[in-house]
Amino acid sequence: MSTLSVDDASSFAAGVVNDDVVGHQGNSAWVIDGATDLCDEPLVDPESDAAWLANLIGRWLTRHPLPPRLEDIIPALTQDAADEFAKQRSRPPVERFEHPSAAGLILRLDGTELEYLALGDCSLVVESSGGDVVRYGVGDDTGDAGLADRLSDMGSDATNDGRATIDREGLMPILRDGRRRMNLVPGYGVFSITAPPNEYVVTERVQVATGTRLLLASDGFMRLVDVFQAYSLAGLIECAFARGIPAMVDELRTMEREDAAGHLFPRAKCHDDASAVLGRVVS
């Protein structure tokens, strides 16, 4: 019987608060990426509603057995999140963009099959024992990639100490307009206090063999490929296993600082939380 062996599960904050959560238990692993708050003040956590939701999801996954179908996680998890939000909030949300939300990818190894559930822009990179590399669970128009053209048009500058001065106030209406479409059709699906439409829930079962290597990652970590284009998928998973997640994030932070204003590599934030899980299928 094959099992999932986790080499590393690490998460690095971009600032004071980390909106990401990683975890693993038995033959399961996950990465959760809380979406940066867009309300003027957090409603349930003085630091970050996004971190509140990501941590709630992480705790839920460690406390509940996974159902036979991973997509059946969503109704119970959404209800628990909605109930806790209603208990803890300082006021009701005025608009949908004030709902806490999170992207996430959850996987489970079941014999010779790898099953995953994905919402939003987290990624699963699978390297077969034969060396083929495939990416699962992410769209091409999400996160910084989806905003690249608009960010380039808006422009930005850097301060003397190297911090980015991306026009966040100018970007805010765009971000809020997009967030209003969460868990609606047309729109996109995420973990939140409302359930995502079925068409936005991505699930798949992939045949794997002993020796398969896995990388689960938030979009902040995947900037190494998607934004800075420093690695191919094959190169990313090879270097992640060879060097470790902390070293990869150190390299990422250097790239972010060197283009603090986002002129060469447009992105919504200079730095983003970066999280990853490295695992292997072993006998």
Q: What is the pLDDT of residues 191-208, one digit of tens each?
A: 999 999 999 999 999 999
Annotate 190-222 with DSSP letters as a single string: -EESSPPPGGG-EEEEEE--TT-EEEEE-TTTT
pLDDT of residue 170: 77
Determine contact, residues 120/103, Cβ cutoff 8 Å.
Answer: yes
Q: What token pair was written down for 72? A: 């059946």
CA dihedral of residues 49, 50, 56, 61 (deg, nearest 10) = 170
Q: What is the CATH number of the domain that holds 275?
A: 3.60.40.10
**For residues 44 and 4, what is the distance between their CA atoms, to the nearest angstrom?**
35
**For residues 273 and 10, what is the distance between their CA atoms, to the nearest angstrom?**
11
Determine contact, residues 121/104, Cβ cutoff 8 Å.
Answer: no
pLDDT band at 1 (very low <50, low <70, confident <90, very high): confident
pLDDT of residue 67: 96
Beta-carbon contacts of 111 under 8 Å, excluding residues fewer than 6 positions away, are 1, 2
Q: What token pair was written down for 14? A: 């971009």
Q: What does the pLDDT look like over 42-62, one tens digit per residue? A: 999 999 999 999 999 999 999
pLDDT band at 157 (very low <50, low <70, confident <90, very high): very low
Phi, psi angles (nearest 5°) of residue 260: -60, -35
pLDDT at 107 over 50: yes
Q: What does the pLDDT look like over 162-197, one tens digit per residue? A: 444 455 567 899 999 999 999 999 999 999 999 999
pLDDT at 129 over 60: yes
Please state, rounded to an integer, the average pLDDT across all residues of the chain.
91
CB-based burial of residue 84 (10 Å sphere; 0-12 exposed, 13-18 middle, 19+ buried)? middle
**For residues 222 and 275, what is the distance between their CA atoms, to the nearest angstrom?**
9
Determine contact, residues 59/73, Cβ cutoff 8 Å.
Answer: no
Q: How far is CA 101 from the centre of its chain?
A: 11
User: What is the three-state SS of 101-145?
Assistant: EEEEEEEEEECCEEEEEEECCCEEEEECCCCCEEEECCCCCCHHH
Domain that holds residue 183: 3-282
Read off the pTM.
0.92
For tokens 């690249």, what's the residue?
A: 148
Determine contact, residues 66/77, Cβ cutoff 8 Å.
Answer: no
pLDDT at 246 over 70: yes
**For residues 92 and 97, what is the distance between their CA atoms, to the nearest angstrom?**
12
**For residues 70 and 107, what is the distance between their CA atoms, to the nearest angstrom?**
8
Beta-carbon contacts of 105 under 8 Å, excluding residues fewer than 6 positions away, are 30, 31, 116, 117, 118, 119, 122, 123, 124, 137, 216
Q: Which of 84-88, 149-153, 225-229, 230-234 has the lowest mean pLDDT?
A: 149-153
Q: Which of 161-165, 173-177, 212-216, 264-268 has the lowest mean pLDDT?
A: 161-165
Q: What total of structural domains would you count in the chain?
A: 1
For tokens 């630091």, what's the residue?
A: 47
